[in-house]
Amino acid sequence: MLERAAVMLLAILVAMAAPSAPAQTFEAPGAGTGVYQGTVAVSINTAGTVTGFYLVAGTVYHGFVRAANGTITDFDVTGAGTGKNQGTYPASINTKGTIAGMYTDASTGYHGFVARPAAARSPLSMSLPQCRTFTPEPSP
């Protein structure tokens, strides 16, 4: 059910995009390539920063933030489960870079989270543990 909702949300976001704007495609590093796997962008702010989630083998969800320059930081909320249909699901990002979403724990219980950018670091240095940052390769 969550997968259907994510696909519907993505379709709405694509439909709202300006017709003259070229589409940018990307995959979060580590995203799976099988059925019900891959990268789902769910929110973009005015700075062009995107948040969403990606799925890996076993249908485990991980959050990510993609800066306008293409740098991707992935994250898992502390307490997020690592089993099937568990993990971190970012849902929205505001103009200050604060991300709101939910996560499922190992018992498949739902919880909300708010992740704020760390004040003393770059806007993509989230105040969450288990973050990795990936810088894209330059375009040819």
Q: Which residues pair with 133 in a beta bridge?
A: 73
Domain ranges of the chain: 2-16+29-134
Q: Is the CB of residue 7 less than 8 Å from the CB of residue 53?
A: no
pLDDT tens-digit map of 3-29: 665 555 555 655 555 455 678 899 999
Q: Which residues pair with 99 in a beta bridge?
A: 93, 115
pLDDT tens-digit map of 49-58: 999 999 998 8
pLDDT tens-digit map of 36-87: 899 999 999 999 999 999 999 888 999 999 999 999 988 888 889 999 999 9
